[in-house]
Amino acid sequence: MTTDPQLPVDKFCWQPNVKLALLVAFLLPSLIVLGFWQLSRADEKRAIVAHFDRNQQSKPALVGDLSGTADMQYRLAWLRGELDPKRRIFLDNRVRHNRPGYEVLEVLTLEDSGVRVLVNRGWVAAPLDRNKLSTVVSVSGSAQFRGFLYRNLPGSFILDDGVTVPDDWPVRLGWISVERASAVFQQLFYDYQLRLDRDSPGALETGWPTVAVQPEKHTAYAVQWFTMAAVLVVMAVSAMSNLTSWLAAFLQRVQNER
């Protein structure tokens, strides 16, 4: 707020400050861009949630439904086959209940078709000794595995673990996708992995959030950025003018005229 006593209070006057104006010119567009970016993120999350709800309402996919080109993301699936416990992946840095752990993945070979599907059995807590992997009970024989199909979303987090083709099994990896599984196992896989339901054979601790941050939270963040932009403008105008004293004088005149 300006303190120049020569500025009149009966009319609005500017007292520009070049440094302050340059600071506002830099910060204001940044705040506005961040606000609109959060709104775009909210739209993306709404689209993901709508996609999930839409495909979850479809009837469970069976082995015969895997041969088409239809969108199978989040589609429920009932697949019969046998898991391979000898080649097991421990997906690192998966935290639940404030505890470090792993997600356990194995190869499911479907009966009749022989198609291979990467199966995420769920989460297990990690031992205190980093040199040891968690103990997991294997699934023996053929069974019907139930869950939903999933493909990694664009922009998924990737932790470089330096592994190409493992020399020994089981193996600890920082990230996994169907494409990477084909390279790790040296075999072709179905385009989607299967994330097990909690009542499926072989299920560990399951349950995955559809989105990490809900659309409403992104909208709230956008409101915060836009509010900060508005406050910045008001503070800058007050600092480079007699806005505060002019408003005070104006309100006093209104009160006196009553």
Q: Is the pLDDT of residue 4 over 70?
A: no
Task: Check residue 136 and give its pLDDT.
Answer: 95
Average pLDDT, the chain: 87
pTM: predicted TM-score of the whole model, two decimal places:
0.75
Q: Is the pLDDT of residue 207 over 70?
A: yes
Average pLDDT over residues 31-52: 91
For residue range 220-244, list pLDDT tens digits in order. 999 999 999 999 998 888 877 776 7
Q: Is the pLDDT of residue 213 over 90?
A: no
Cα 16 to chain centroid distance, Å, stands at 44
Average pLDDT over residues 96-120: 94
Domain ranges within the chain, ordered by starting residue: 75-196
Task: Check residue 234 and give its pLDDT.
Answer: 86
Q: Is the pLDDT of residue 102 over 90?
A: yes
- Residue 256 corresponds to which amino acid? N
Cβ–Cβ < 8 Å for 106, 83: yes
